[in-house]
Amino acid sequence: MRWSKAYLPTYKESPSDAEIPSHKLMMRAGLIRKLTAGVYSFLPLGWRVLHKIEHIVREEMDRIGCQEIMMPILHPSELYEESGRLKHFGPELFTLKDRRGRFFALGPTHEEVVTDIARAEIKSYRQLPQTLYQILVKFRDEIRPRFGVMRAREFIMKDAYSFHESHESLAETYTNMAEAYRRTLDRCGLENVMVEADAGKIGGDVNHEFVVFAEHGESEILICSCGYVANSERAESLGKPLASKEKVQKKPEQVSTPKMKTVEQVSNFLDVSPAHLVKTMLYKSGDSMVAVLIPGERTLNESKLSKVLDDPYVEPLRDDDIKKLTGAEAGYAGPVGLPGDTRIIVDPTLDEYDGMIVGANATDAHLRGVKMGRDFEATERADVIAAEEGDRCKRCSDQILQLRRGVEMGHIFKLDTKYSKAMSATFLDNEGKERHFIMGCYGFGVSRAVAAAIEADYDDKGIRWPKTITPFHAIVLPVKMSDADTMMAAESIYAELREAGWDVLLDDRDTRAGVKFKDADLIGIPLRITLGERSLKEGKVEIYHRRDDRTELIDREGVLDYVREFYSA
C-alpha cells in the first residue's frame, strides 16, 4: 500500500480520554476512531491487525475440530427469560423493541441461542460431542466503558460452545480448548498464563482465564512460586500473619466508641492494631439474613460470597434493615446476640484469632475480648476475603503471593447443565434415557487482542508489533523524495516484496523525512527499509529493527531474502 493513497492518519497528541498506552497509541497511530463512548471504528491499519488475529484464532479452532457458524445479534428476550440471565445481566444488556413490539437483546454472548439451536437438532448421543464457534460483534452496555477497545460496549469476540454426553467428554474438549488458546496467544506473540477465575455472568463451576501480562492491564493475577496462579477475584489465600492478637476476656467487654464506625477510627481510638478487629457485614439472600465476618483490615469478595450462598442476587442490607436486625445504627453490627436465624459465615483466616473486637449491636459501642464458639457460633466457615499481594498461598501454605497485572484475553467455562437444564435441552443417551446436555463455553477477545499486543510491548516512540500480527511486514522509507535514484529503488523494492506476497507499506508521502521516521516508529512495523541517497550509491539499504532498535546495512539485492529470513525465524 502507498501511504499517499491510504487512509492512515497519525497524530502527535492523543485524546484526553485515553488513559492507558494502548488506547493512546491506537488513536495516535490511526488504528481506531471513537464514534461514541465505548464504540469504535477500526480504520485500515487496525483492521489489518484484527484480521490477522482472526485468522490465527480460526486456524486454531479448526485444528481442534470446532465448526464455524454465525449466529444472529438480535436475540428474542424470551430466551433470556428461560435462562434467567435477563435479571442477571440487568442494564448491561442492550435491549430494544421491534416494530411489532417484540423485545430483543443485542447478544452479549450466545449461550441461549446456541442451546436453542442444539435442542432443536441434537437428538441422540450419537451426534455428540459437537463444538460450534463464531467470530462476531458482541454488545455489553458497560457502566464505565474505558481504555478504548479494551473495555468497549461493542467488541469482537470469538465464542465457542460445546455439547457433551459426559463430563469426560467435556473435560477432553476443555483441555483441547485450553491448548488452542495458549497456542493462539503464543502465535500472536503474547506472553500468557492460564489462571483460575471467577465465572461472573456466565456461570458454571470450573473456569479459567487466559491473561496476557501487561503493566496497565485491568486484571490482577496472584502468583505463587509453588505454581498456583489465580485471578484476584477468585484467588484463595491464608491472609497475612497477625501482627498482634486481641486477648480473650472472661466475657465480652462493651466499650463506648462514639461515632466511630470504621476499622481505622475504632482501632485508633482503642489504640490497638486493626488486626484485633473483625468486620461484620450484613447481607440479604432471598429471605435470609446473613452476617459475614472477616478480619478488620481485609476486603470482602462479594463474588465468593455469592457462590457460598449459591445466590447471584445477594445484596448488602440497607441501613434501615440493619437497624431492624441489630437494633443499632449501621457501623456497629457484630456477631454476638444476633437473631437466631441469622446465618453467620466466618472466613477461615479468623481461626488464628484469640479474641476479637466486634460491633456491639448497639449504637456507639463495640465489644472487646469476644471469643468465637463461646460468645457466638459460626454457621459455617468459608473463604470470602479478597486475596491480596503478600498473602500466604493457600495451596502451599508456605510462599507469599505476588501480584502481576494483565489483560484478560480468554475465558473458558465448564457450564455443566446450567443452560441445558434452564432451557430443557435434552438428548437420548445410549439407553434411550432423556438427559440434559453437558456444556462448555469458551470466549476469546479478538478486538481486545489488538490492544493487548500493544500493552505487552511498546516504547515512548510508539507501537512494536509482534511479527505475526503486524499490519505490514515492512515499511519502505525513501528519505529524499526528490532524488530519482532513491525513488526508483523504493518502487522496485516495494514491487519486489509485494510480488513475493509480503504486506508492504511504501511511505511515498511528499513530506519531511523526520515526519516519516516518527510515523514509522509510531505505527510500529517490525522492519523499516530506509533508502538513503548515499548508501544507495554503494548499493546498500538500511534495515531498522523496530523491536530491538537496531540498524543493519545490507546489499540492495538481499532485501527479499532478508525479509523472508526475518519472518521465518
Binding site for a second copy (CB under 8 A): 1, 5-7, 9, 33, 35-36, 39-44, 47-48, 50-51, 65, 67-76, 91-92, 94-96, 98-99, 102, 106, 113, 116-117, 120-121, 130, 132, 136-137, 139, 141, 143, 153-154, 156
Task: Give the shortest CB-39-to-a second copy separation in angstroms.
Answer: 5
Please state, as a whole number, how many other Cβ atoms lie within 10 Å of the Cβ of residue 228: 19
Helices 446-456/44-63 angle, 10° precision? 110
Q: 92 vs 218, which CB is nearer to a second copy? A: 92
Least separation in angstroms between residue 130's CB and a second copy is: 5
Q: How far is the CB of 137 from a second copy (least distance, A)?
A: 6
CA-CA distance, 13 to 464, in Å (whole number)? 18
Q: Which of 35/226 has CB closer to a second copy?
A: 35
Note whether 481 and 512 are within 8 A (CB): no
The CA R_g of the chain, rounded to the nearest whole Å, is 29
Q: Phi, psi (5° rounding) for residue 367?
A: -110, 135
Q: Is the peptide bond before 129 cis (omega within 30 degrees of 0)?
A: yes
Instruction: Please say which residue, 92 or 429, places its beta carbon nearer to a second copy.
Output: 92
Closest CB to a second copy among 103 and 517?
103
Report the nearest approach of a second copy to the CB of residue 560 (Å).
22
Which strand ranges, in their side-by-side order, compose the sheet holding 504-506? 504-506, 474-478, 527-531, 540-545, 550-555
Which residues are within 8 A (CB) of 227 and not within 5 positions of it... i.e. 6 or more apart?
A: 395
What is the nearest approach in angstroms of a second copy to the Cβ of residue 5?
Answer: 7
The strand pairing partners of 505, in sequence order, are 475
Q: What minimum distance in Å lies between the beta carbon of 47 and a second copy?
A: 5
Q: Is 342 helix (H, G, I), strand (E, B) or coil?
A: coil
Nearer to a second copy, 380 or 510 (CB): 510
H-helix or E-strand spanning residue 405:
strand 402-416
Between 29 and 113, CB nearer to a second copy = 113
DSSP structure class, residue 376: B
Task: Tell me how far, at minimum, the Cβ of 136 lies from a second copy, in Å.
Answer: 8
Residue 416 CA to residue 170 CA, distance in Å, equals 8
Q: Minimum distance from CB of 40 to a second copy (Å)?
A: 7
For a second copy, the closer of residues 76 and 337 by Cβ is 76
Q: Amino acid identity, residue 440? A: G
Nearer to a second copy, 71 or 206 (CB): 71
State the Cα–Cα distance between residues 412 and 54, nearest whole angstrom.
Answer: 18
